[in-house]
Structure 1
Amino acid sequence: MKSEDTFRIGTFTKARGLKGELQLYVDFDNLDSIKFNAVFVDIAGKLVPYFVKSIKYPMANTAYVNLEEVDTVEKATVLAKKDVFLPNKLKPKKAKEEFTLKDLKGFIAIDETLGELGEITDVMEYPQQIIASLQYQNREVLFPLNGVTIKGIDLEGGEVYLDLPEGLLDVYLD
């Protein structure tokens, strides 16, 4: 499975106990409402499938996962600090009112002055602001996503219309 065919649900933080149970930090809302029997673990850039024997949700943002063929603490420790993914077909559809700025990943950014900039490859949330990343003229460009820069969003067309500060892209291109 390719990474673009999946979505990230969290990270295995550590082995738990002696029988191979893993603690999963869950950063995907309402994971407990999705029914799945396998996950994909990012190991050295490749998505490796694992069948889930059991999963428990003891508290918010935490799950305890038992995987088939991971039955010792040594086997579980190898998977610690690895990102965990599910196939896109299991991703719940969001209603328009549930849309957030983080959902702009994959949208085409269009600036009022420069026109089409490219596809937003990542959206990162920092305490002060939300930052988008994209490739523009073979360089990674970062820009803020806020009420000042965003002029409109076309959910159906997958486009976000921007008015970036003058000179921002020049910083990356010089």
Structure 2
Amino acid sequence: MTKEDCYLVGKLTKTHGLKGEMAIWLDVDYPEEYEDLESILVEMKGELIPYFVEEIQIRANKSIIKFEDIDTIEAAQKLINCDLYLPNDNLEELDDDQFYYHEIIGFSIVDETQGKLGTITAVYTAEAQDLIAMNYQNKEVLIPVSDEIVKTIDREKKELYTDLPAGLIEVYLDEDGTPDDADEEE
């Protein structure tokens, strides 16, 4: 199984105790949905290695995971900072106008007013506001994720349709319409 067939669930952050337990950071909307996890893929040196979950405790501030056959702090230390993945077919089917953040990386942004703008490079999640990062004229432009701005998606065309607020793109450009950092390149 390749990373393209999977989605990022989280990361092993540090050891917990002396018997192979590890703290896990879950980068998901509803961590409690992972309480019955039986196995997970751990990325090590670019490869996805399956591990069976012996026990998982989902907590608000720090979740703890214990894998089968990882019984010492030394064995657990080798997995620290490794990313965790699950196969895409574990994800629920979404409505046509919904999407998972990981699936839109590489999609084009097409605005109702301005047309095709740029390519999505990342999605940043924060408590206050999630943001879609778009490469526009070699400059990162951040687009707030809201129903008023992000309208629909076309998976076949790999396009995300938006209605950007007036002036949003211009905030990232100089007065002459070039990216803010264009002067530095000369």
Q: TM-score when scaled to structure 2?
A: 0.68
CA offsets 1:39-72 (integer angstroms, 9 cap, x no match): 222334x143132231322523543222233221
**1:154 aligned residue:** 152
Cα deviation for residue 123 of structure 1 reads 1.1
Which amino acid is 2:151 matched to?
A: I
**1:83 aligned residue:** 83
Query: Radius of gyration: which is bigger?
Result: 2
Residues 119 and 68 of structure 1, relative CA distance in 2, 3 Å threshold: farther
SS in 2 for 1:4: helix
1:130 and 2:130 correspond: yes
Report if the CA contact (8 A) 1:50-1:67 is conserved: no
Where do 5+ consecutive residues of structure 2 fail to align?
A: none
Cα deviation for residue 146 of structure 1 reads 5.5
CA offsets 1:72-122 (integer angstroms, 9 cap, x no match): 11121122232211111112234689x589578344311345522344231
Cα deviation for residue 5 of structure 1 reads 1.9
From the two aligned structures, give the one with the greater strand fraction. 1
SS in 2 for 1:33: helix
Which amino acid is 1:168 matched to?
A: Y
**2:2 aligned residue:** 2
Residues 51 and 104 of structure 1, relative CA distance in 2, 3 Å threshold: closer
**2:50 aligned residue:** 50
Where do 5+ consecutive residues of structure 1 fail to align?
A: none
**1:145 aligned residue:** 144
Identity %: 25
Question: 1:99-138 to 2 correspondence within 5 Å?
Answer: 105-106=104-105, 107-112=107-112, 114-126=114-126, 129-136=129-136
Residues 21 and 3 of structure 1, relative CA distance in 2, 3 Å threshold: same
Matched residue count: 170
Query: For 1:7 and 1:155, how far apart are their aligned partners in 2?
Result: 19
**2:172 aligned residue:** 168
Which amino acid is 2:42 matched to?
A: V
